[in-house]
Amino acid sequence: MRRENGASSTGERSAIPAGNVAGGTARSSFLAPHSSATHALTVIRTYLRLGLLTMVQYRTNFLFELIGVSIHLATALLGLAVIFNQTSSLNGWSSSELVMLVGIQTILGSLLGIVIEPSFQTFMENVRLGTLDFMLTKPADSQVMVSFQRVEGGAIAGTIAGATILGIGIARHGERIGLGQALLFAAMLVLGIVIMYSFLLILSTLAFWFVKLDNVLVIFGTTFDQAGRWPIGIYPGWLKATLTFVIPIAFVVTVPAQALSGRVNGLTVAGACVLALAFLLGARWFWRYGLKHYTGASA
């Protein structure tokens, strides 16, 4: 594996801190204890490339993933059909807007399923088996390595299927999507991924303390699958707050959908940015906290 230094060789290359495997000396910065951001991107790219090569060997994964996501979509759309047999709008959302919502939810979920979720599953298993220590001795940011170490390329089937459903929803909706709306939608989608990534990182970091909780990601998965396909407005206040700040899934699906249909206001966009930043920094802090208190497998 070629180590590229390029423009990053400004003296930031650090040796493994003596006597502290778990992550960083007093000198290291909060954001990049071992090296610069370029190095982090290099690590990410390497993992993704290796994952892609592995995926090509397992084409059947893609097929089965496609079957699975098709069943999931058929279930969601049939459910919408039953509901819209009884009403013509749900909390102000038309049926085509809800179809768009399902598409967005599927895209977001599958994007996480390509690399983030499998990597975190592997991480928690490594904590349990004690093999995490090997990764921590490597001279790269541990959070980056842990987040990108495993690629399940088959999940891209979900992104394709979700985009198709989103397209169908937009077509049925009938209104033109302006460029501004499309850009805002893309931006809100990215923020949504950031928020969900951070939340998954927080959940996974719990593995440092609760080794027997190997199903902790189920909290996210089930909530996202079930609650993430409905507009956040239908939930009563306490549930709405929970689904925005505690398990932040309703926010991340609803806001991009609102951006697409042009009914998001500046306050919501600003709120999404603040929430994303808060979650990202909070997750980062919690990760570093967990690492610092991690005593290793053989302790």
Q: Which residues bind to another protein, rule: CB under 8 A?
A: 60, 64, 67-68, 71-72, 74-75, 78-79, 82-83, 85-87, 89-91, 210, 212-216, 218-219, 222-223, 226-227, 230, 234-236, 239
Contacts of 53 (CB under 8 A, 6+ apart): none
Q: Which is nearer to another protein, 16 or 83 (CB)?
A: 83
Q: Which is nearer to another protein, 219 or 269 (CB)?
A: 219
Please report how close the Cβ of residue 78 comes to another protein at its closest, in angstroms.
Answer: 7
Q: Which is nearer to another protein, 33 or 248 (CB)?
A: 248
DSSP 214: T
Q: Which is nearer to another protein, 210 or 245 (CB)?
A: 210
Please report how close the Cβ of residue 99 comes to another protein at its closest, in angstroms.
Answer: 15
Burial class (CB in 10 A: 0-12, 13-18, 19+), 50: middle
Residue among 120, 283, 110, 295 at smallest CA distance from 198: 283
Q: Which is nearer to another protein, 148 or 224 (CB)?
A: 224
* φ and ψ of 158, to 5 deg: -65, -35
How far apart are alpha carbons 123 and 190 in whole angstroms?
A: 24
Q: Output the CA angle 119-272-111, nearest 5 degrees.
A: 30
Please report how close the Cβ of residue 29 comes to another protein at its closest, in angstroms.
Answer: 34
DSSP 227-291: HTTS-GGGS-HHHHHIIIIISTHHHHHHHHHHHHTT---HHHHHHHHHHHHHHHHHHHHHHHHHH
Q: Which is nearer to another protein, 122 or 223 (CB)?
A: 223
How far apart are alpha carbons 215 and 90 in whole angstroms?
A: 33
Residue among 103, 121, 115, 148 at smallest CA distance from 260: 103
* Cα radius of gyration rounded to whole Å, the chain: 21
Q: Which is nearer to another protein, 206 or 280 (CB)?
A: 206
Please report how close the Cβ of residue 90 comes to another protein at its closest, in angstroms.
Answer: 6
Q: Which is nearer to another protein, 4 or 214 (CB)?
A: 214
Task: Report yes or no: 51 and 153 within 8 Å, Cβ to Cβ.
Answer: yes
How far apart are alpha carbons 266 and 132 in whole angstroms?
A: 43
